[in-house]
Amino acid sequence: MEEDRPSSNVSLRAEELEKVMNDLDSDDQIMNTTQKVDHPGQNMDWVSCRDFNVELGRKQIMEYISTWGLSPRWLLNLAFLETIEEEYHSLHRYRARWSIPTRQSPVPRDTASVCFSVRLSRFRPQTEPVEVCYTLESNQLVHLAGKTAFREKWLEDLVHSKALLRRAVDF
């Protein structure tokens, strides 16, 4: 006769499942509303196309990176790479390179790079801000500055994969 009754474990799980389903419904309603989510760097005010120069671009990229909230153990080097003139816009490219020095290895062998592109349109009003995007090395996904929340784990994964590759290859 006791076998016909559901155990308290089963009824508890059913209640938990019902609660999860209700939570999912409310999450769907939240996701369907058009609310802006605050990500690090979202409110960055980029310089206008008219006022842009290479040094100001470097300074603003450093300010933008500082909004990511990375651990202070990371050392950063930001370098200007090149200017590419195209028909409708010009691109200014920068490379940010991170590393983590340790006592055992004060000059790190493995680094992680993020390439920034600052686009100045020739046809949009010169009072418009520049467009900034970035890509991680070994990744083709283009992130728009202020639209994607940067993850410190991305840098850690790059450094870790390079260390594994270096150990796997004999020179």
Question: Looking at the structure, do residues 29 and 59 belong to the same domain, yes or no?
Answer: no
Residue 19's domain comprises 1-33
Instruction: Give every strand in the sheet of 143-144, ordered side by side.
Output: 75-85, 89-99, 112-121, 131-136, 143-144
Report if residue 98 sits inside a domain. Answer: yes
**Three-state secondary-structure class, residue 87:** coil
Report CA 4 to chain centroid distance, whole Å. Answer: 54
Question: Looking at the structure, do residues 13 and 88 belong to the same domain, yes or no?
Answer: no
Question: Looking at the structure, do residues 94 and 164 belong to the same domain, yes or no?
Answer: yes
State the pLDDT at residue 157: 94
Q: Residue 25 — pLDDT band, cuts 50, 70, 90?
A: very low
Question: Looking at the structure, do residues 110 and 158 belong to the same domain, yes or no?
Answer: yes
The pTM of this model reads 0.72
**Local structure of residue 9 (DSSP, 8 states):** H
Report if residue 44 sits inside a domain. Answer: no
Task: Give 145-156 pLDDT, tens digit per residue.
Answer: 989 889 999 999
Question: Looking at the structure, do residues 2 and 62 belong to the same domain, yes or no?
Answer: no
Report if residue 47 sits inside a domain. Answer: no
Domain count, the chain: 2
